[in-house]
Amino acid sequence: MSASDFRDIVVKGDAGKAERLFRAAVSAFCSITRPSRREVAQLEDLTLPLFDQVSAEARRYVAAALSECEIAPAGLVARLADERIDVAAPLLMRSAHLRDVDLIALIGKHGIAHARVIARRPSLNPTIAQLVRALEASISVVPRIVRAAEPAPKPAQPGTLPLQDSGHAAEEVRDRLREMMRSDLRSAYSLETRVSGDNSVFPKLRDTAFTGNDTFFQTALADALGMNLAAARAITEASSYSSLLAALRALDLSEEQAFMIAAAVFPGQFAHAEAIRMFAVRYRALDYETARERVRGWKLEIVATWLQWSSAAGRGRRAARSGAFDTPAATGAASRLKAP
């Protein structure tokens, strides 16, 4: 009997069968030691059409079950992780199917509740941990400023919302994070698509490298990788070509194409045949997926750097409005935020 046959039974019969079938299908799947791709696809084909018909309790049960599975349907995991926190928590804490970019997207969409649970993941990417701390800071900064500015708490006025500014600050950070996800983080997903579908990547990099103008090449590299100009500049101004090698490998350039560009950008590093041979050895040894993950890590660091700056700048703006900079400690913090 196929997945569509099971769904027909649910549609034609008791609506309660959807819940029982949803649970039973996932339970059976989790009992398989090494499920095949066909079994993974069958489970997803069966459960996703039932998703909106089942209760939150059933979703919690399935999320907890799948969080322990090494192999699971990606679409179902993504749908569950996008649920409210009491459903998504097991997957956010344990699922290996949620990549760093997925976790960042969830934090941007859902905010501090999802972020706090994600922070409990073992071996969490330090950059994501940084993001969570910055988001926590943006939420807690206003109460600290108020305590610094006011020696004694004032009674709340009828009809006011306590810590309204704090909520606004957190939402401001989340809005900016969503905006950056659209431009930087989502490009991590489409990197391989952009490379395979755009034959002009190498000619653009080659031609700009041959001009001898660093800015031209850095701009072309930033565009190819979906990163900002500052990140591309850091790659080309490093003391060695190690980062550039990873970037070119992530763009899936051939060995000859990568060497041509590297030699143009780092001419002093290829003064003899042995240096050229070592470049070829290193490039062949660098796995494509490893290089792509390194590029994704750079993108996450870009977001973390911005978020830390935004949180500090936001503290400065809000403290100035509240008068908290009258204290010596706050005055010192404000001066550090000013451009030199």
Domain borders along the chain are 1-91, 198-295
Residue type, 126: P
For residues 228-250, average pLDDT: 91
* Comparison of pLDDT for 33 and 302, the residue scoring more: 33
In 122-161, which positions are buried (b, 16+ CB within 10 angstroms) versus exposed (e)?
A: eeebebbebbbbbbbbbbebbeebbebeeeeeeeeeeeee
Residues whose CB is less than 8 angstroms from the CB of residue 64 and which lie 6 or more positions away in sequence, other chains included: 90
pTM for the predicted model, two decimal places: 0.50
Distance of CA 293 to the CA centre of its chain: 11
Predicted confidence band of residue 161 (pLDDT cuts 50, 70, 90): very low
Cα 303 to chain centroid distance, Å, stands at: 9
Return the closest-CA partner of residue 235 out of 142, 183, 298, 280.
Answer: 298
Q: Tally the residues of the chain.
A: 340
Q: What is the pLDDT of residue 84?
A: 93
Closest CA to 205 of 251, 141, 138: 251
The pLDDT of residue 165 is above 70:
no
- Of the pLDDT bands very low, low, confident and very high (cuts 50, 70, 90), residue 203 is very high
Is pLDDT at 313 greater than 50 in this prediction? yes
What is the per-residue pLDDT across 253-294, written as a single tens digit (0 to 9) for each?
999 999 999 999 999 999 899 999 999 999 999 999 889 888
Q: Would you say residue 41 has pLDDT above 80?
A: yes
Query: Which pLDDT score is estimated for 137?
Result: 76
Closest by CA to 171, choosing from 334, 310, 333, is 310
Q: Which residue has the higher pLDDT, 236 or 137?
A: 236
At residue 99, the pLDDT reads 86
Confidence of residue 136 (pLDDT cuts 50, 70, 90): confident
User: In the prediction, which pLDDT does 55 show?
Assistant: 92
Q: What is the pLDDT of residue 156?
A: 46
